[in-house]
Amino acid sequence: MTQSEKLEQLELVEVVIKEGKATLQFIDMERGELREVIFNKNVFDKEKNEFVPDAEKAAKVEEWCQEYFQLTFDDLSKAVGEKRDVYAYDKFNSLWESEQIAKFDKDMVGQIISSTVKDVTDDGIGVHIKFEHEGEAYQSNMTYSDYMETMKKWFTNPQKQRKQYEKFEEKFGISIDNKEELIGKDIMVEVSSAFGKFVYADIKPFPKKKK
């Protein structure tokens, strides 16, 4: 898992709000560094190649503002002078610990690794099975929803969902309702590729029990 560094009680010295994006500047006096935390109500539109407003993301950002500052987004500047713990990652900073899911490189395709299931979740988009390899967190996805680019949202495909649930049960010998039973189980994972460019983790089926 990509590790974060917890920087304790840094002072918020400036808040810049522009076009739905708030940049919160925290100062680390000990190191003489500024740490930026971004609250962005916009999402990236690939077709337009720019960030555009998004109601769902805006609602989530307002929740963060209330949770961490008890303020609205527009009033964030009133928090200047307050102190918060900041989690520093390689490419960003955050007010909370974020799990970073690693991706296998193309040169890993074809390799089979052994690991242990750390977590299993079903978030309405798909079933996600987490495991670790060489200290990094990885994830195998059994997706059953389709992303509508025009609406920027995921929609469940009932037929796909049923097939993935059936595949889950066939592969692991347990129903999706008992998915937590998979946690702690040893697995074999093949690093596979689709269309020659999309690299993904394929967990091998468990051996069938003799009848």
* Domain limits, the chain: 5-94, 106-203
Q: In this model, does residue 205 exceed pLDDT 90?
A: yes
Q: What is the pLDDT of residues 16-66, one digit of tens each?
A: 999 999 999 999 999 999 999 999 999 887 777 888 898 889 999 999 999
Nearest to 79 by CA among 25, 42, 40, 29: 25
Q: What is the pLDDT of residues 72-125, one digit of tens each?
A: 999 999 999 999 999 998 889 999 987 778 889 999 999 999 999 999 999 999
Inter-residue contact 164 to 144 (CB < 8 Å): yes
pLDDT score, position 211: 64
Nearest to 144 by CA among 170, 167, 126: 126
Q: In this model, does residue 1 exceed pLDDT 50?
A: no
pLDDT score, position 22: 97
pLDDT score, position 159: 97
Query: Which has the higher per-residue pLDDT, 138 or 2?
Result: 138
Residue 3 confidence class, pLDDT cut points 50, 70, 90: low
Q: In this model, does residue 2 exceed pLDDT 70?
A: no
pLDDT score, position 186: 97
Query: Which has the higher per-residue pLDDT, 5 or 27?
Result: 27
- Mean of all residue pLDDT scores within the chain: 91
Asked: is 106-203 a CATH 2.40.50 domain? The reply is: yes
